[in-house]
Amino acid sequence: MKSVMRNGWIIGLLALLGLLLVATKVIQPNFGQSGLESLSRAALPFAFAAAAQVIVVVAGGIDLSIASMMAVASVTAAVMMDGGAVPAGLTVLVVLCLGALMGAINGSLIVLTRVPDIVVTLAMLFVWEGVALLILRAPGGGSAEWLRNIIVGGVAIPGLPPSATGWIPRSLLVLVICLAVIWVPLRRSRLGLAIYAIGSDQLAAFRSGVAVGRTRIAAYSVAGLFAAMGGLSLTMSTGIGEPIPGPYLLASVAAVVLGGVVLGGGRGGLLGPIIAVFVLRLVRMDLTLLSVDPNVTTIIEGSIMVVVVMIGGLLAVRSRRR
Amino acid sequence: MGSMRRTYQTAAMSALAIGLAGMAVADTYTIGISNTVQGNGWREEMVCAMKAQALVSGKVESLNIAHRNTDAAGQLEDIRNLIEAGVDAIVVNPANPEGINSAIKEATDKGIVVVAVDQAVTEPSAYVLSNDQEEYAYLGAKWLFEQIGGQGDVVYMRGAAGASADDDRDKGFNRALEEFPDVKIVHEVFTGWQQDQGKQQILDFLATGIPVDGVWTSGIDNVIVDAFVESDVPLVPIVGADNAGFVGQLSSVEGLEGAAVTNPGSVGGAGVTLALRILEGQPPEDRTVLVAPDLWANTTEDGRQKIEAGQNPNLDPEWPVSVSIPDWTTYTMDEIIACKGPGE
């Protein structure tokens, strides 16, 4: 029953995404390959931020420092690659490790001090923001050209005609691969099970032999890794690093909620929030295409979220009654 | 690849065709606006100047405004959405000089005119109409250091940490500081260009009782004067921007010596004018046009006259009083305050 519910939510989100795509095509008949590509590139940092938030929320926590960690990762990458000082491949590796380390620090502080997640990560929001400013005090740095080009254009598979795969944005493929490489094995591992377990019921998990503290640190560490990917995607799309965090924290929470992940922990997957990210970006695109008053735009975005989550909640209650 | 190039060619051709057709008939363009700071008086005036200028030009059918708080990556998204919307020109206040180059290039490749206002961008296919931020800080700082006799303790109230305009101003400030080796910075803070934050910071500082001889602000100015007056601390020379509230104080507050450095938000309206000129086949000789700042000190006759001329009680205190730029904007004071664009 639970799996039907979860899939139901995802099917609903996919339907909403489809509807919005049709609406976009109606608003702007020229909407096509280039529109899909800009949508997918815009979604990239938001999707990684959402993935980071998902894993922490599933583990029963919340990470308010995600956008700041993304900024640290982004400026680190931009400073390292500036003028080709460090090869891009090595930079990516170092930044990913740095992300996991930042996440592990967040998690360790929570476990060791027993201060609530929300307090620790709120404090770390400012700490990581300061670290980003220490690394780079104003937007700057650089990025290797080949790294930037990874997310530009359509997918080309040798042997297939370009028309068959060319409409799929490369940035979407990069996103799917990066998320799958981490998420799929994790979900099937003991650690993945343990993360869901501590989010669902910490005491029960502890009594069944789950190392709660270590699992929590691991969850935050994976979140840091996803945040680093988000930071890298920022540097790849802008070609520089920006020390001031972007609007990714609240957007990640929004995507998590809209994606059907229960904020209390223990339930939800990655697919829903990722689709939700695309839904939210597409709403933004449609509002721009319609040239809606920018001061009204945010109200509309917020209202859509509340309505969708409310409808979802009502459907859940009704299906439970049956 | 070949088919893609064809698509671009077709797009470029049709853009050209539409452009030519537009010239033949009455000119009606669609202009996209991209701005990444919302809720700041200066930026609001900029957007209103864009709307008013588009309206009075009579050549703009509609404005498509992407106006929100975001970073360079978000601005890339906004610019690409404006490209999708099929605008003829984009006037953008860039989040930073380099981060949005890729989207600007995509726009200009499709025949869209891109004008960056307020801050420059490094993408060579864009036109730039920018306020000279380094000179802005240098002018005010130099005046302040001279005013305190070339020596003393100065509070340095910056803008937002990590913003490129703040970084440029810091360069100008330090250039002036090097010329006055006996001036000391006793306190340096980032106001984030937020009135409430700036006021709290100066109140905290004044409470310490550390002597101060002058204050340089990055445009969060009238609340600083308020703080001195409210805390009953003797006024020291203060440098601000040409915001309506501060310009009012320069003539009304007893014993205040100060200078306003102009930083017109109306540069947005000028950007619309520049975009329209380019669309009509009259590009400027130089791709970069710098708007030089001016200093109005209430200690000189000339400055006092400019301050009197700039007085405007109808404006929001956070709005710069230089609501128009000669040769560039043609709207009236009422039109910019009304803040209505075409079709509103």
Mean pLDDT of A50-76: 97
Q: Do B81 and A238 touch (CB under 8 A)?
A: no
Domain span at B201: 133-261
Mean pLDDT of chain B: 89
pLDDT at res. A85 = 86
pLDDT at B3 over 80: no
SS3 A187: helix
B109/B127 same-domain check: yes
> Cα B301 from chain centroid?
27
Q: Does residue B300 fall inside a structural domain?
A: no
Beta carbons of B56 and B333 less than 8 angstroms apart: no
Beta carbons of A272 and A259 less than 8 angstroms apart: yes
Q: Do A247 and B69 touch (CB under 8 A)?
A: yes
ipTM for this prediction: 0.88
Tokens 């008013």 identify what position? B52
Band of the pLDDT at A4, cuts 50, 70, 90? Answer: low
- C-alpha angle with apex B286: B85 to B291, nearest 5 degrees? 85
B204/B56 same-domain check: no
pLDDT digits 0-9 by tens, A239-267: 999 999 999 999 999 999 889 898 888 88
Residues of B in CB contact (< 8 Å) with A are 1, 3-4, 38, 62-74, 76-78, 80-86, 95-102, 160-164, 166-167
Contacts of B84 in chain A (CB under 8 A): 28, 30-31, 34-35, 38, 285, 288-289
User: Which is nearest to B261 in space by CA: B157, B166, B142?
Assistant: B142
Burial class of residue B163 in the structure, from the number of CB atoms within 10 Å of its CB (0-12 exposed, 13-18 middle, 19+ buried): buried
Option in B38, B71, B84 nearest A244 (CB): B71
Cα A158 to Cα A34, A161, A163, A188, B2, distances in angstroms: 21, 8, 12, 32, 16
Q: Among B261, B277, B299, give the residue marking a domain's end.
A: B261
pLDDT at res. B25 = 45
In chain A, domain spans = 42-153+169-248+264-270
- The CATH number of whichever domain residue B254 belongs to comes to 3.40.50.2300
Query: For the whole model, what pTM was predicted?
Result: 0.86
Q: Does residue B69 fall inside a structural domain?
A: yes
How far apart are the C-alpha atoms of B189 and B174, rounded to whole Å? 15
Q: Among B243, B261, B279, give the residue marking a domain's end.
A: B261
B240/B161 same-domain check: yes
Mean pLDDT of chain A: 91
Radius of gyration of chain B (CA): 22
Q: Does A170 touch chain B (CB under 8 A)?
A: no
Least Cα separation, residue A187 to chain B (angstroms):
30
Contacts of A162 in chain B (CB under 8 A): 1, 3-4
B84/B143 same-domain check: no
Tokens 């320069």 identify what position? B250
Q: Does residue B298 fall inside a structural domain?
A: no
pLDDT at A74 over 60: yes
Beta carbons of A140 and A76 less than 8 angstroms apart: no
The number of distinct structural domains making up chain B is 2
pLDDT at B128 over 70: yes
Burial class of residue B22 in the structure, from the number of CB atoms within 10 Å of its CB (0-12 exposed, 13-18 middle, 19+ buried): middle
Contacts of A299 (CB under 8 A, 6+ apart): none
What does the block give as tokens for A285?
Answer: 């695109």
Residue type, B6: R
B127/B270 same-domain check: yes
Cα A87 to Cα A72, A143, A255, B26, distances in angstroms: 19, 10, 34, 54
B8/B123 same-domain check: yes
B200/B211 same-domain check: yes
What single DSSP character describes residue B33? E
B92/B105 same-domain check: yes
SS3 A104: helix
- C-alpha angle with apex B77: B98 to A143, nearest 5 degrees? 35
Band of the pLDDT at B162, cuts 50, 70, 90? Answer: confident
Q: Do B164 and A42 touch (CB under 8 A)?
A: no
Please give the span between the terminal C-alpha atoms of chain B, in angstroms, as a whole number. 43
User: Which is nearest to B127 in space by CA: B229, B16, B273, B259?
Assistant: B273
How far apart are the C-alpha atoms of B159 and B163, rounded to whole Å? 8
Q: What is the full DSSP assignment across A130-154?
A: HHHHHH-SSSB----HHHHHTTSSB
Q: Does residue B246 fall inside a structural domain?
A: yes
Mean pLDDT of A182-199: 95
Q: Does residue B344 fall inside a structural domain?
A: no
Burial class of residue B178 in the structure, from the number of CB atoms within 10 Å of its CB (0-12 exposed, 13-18 middle, 19+ buried): exposed
Band of the pLDDT at B23, cuts 50, 70, 90? Answer: very low
How far apart are the C-alpha atoms of A77 and B197, rounded to whole Å? 31
Q: Does residue B75 fall inside a structural domain?
A: yes
Beta carbons of B158 and B169 less than 8 angstroms apart: yes
How far apart are the C-alpha atoms of A208 and B4, rounded to whole Å? 58
What does the block give as tokens for A207?
Answer: 């009594």
Q: Does residue B301 fall inside a structural domain?
A: no
Q: Does residue B35 fall inside a structural domain?
A: yes
Output phi, psi for A43, to 5 deg.
-75, -20
pLDDT at res. A203 = 93
pLDDT at res. B22 = 43
B48/B96 same-domain check: yes
B120/B151 same-domain check: no
pLDDT at A3 over 80: no
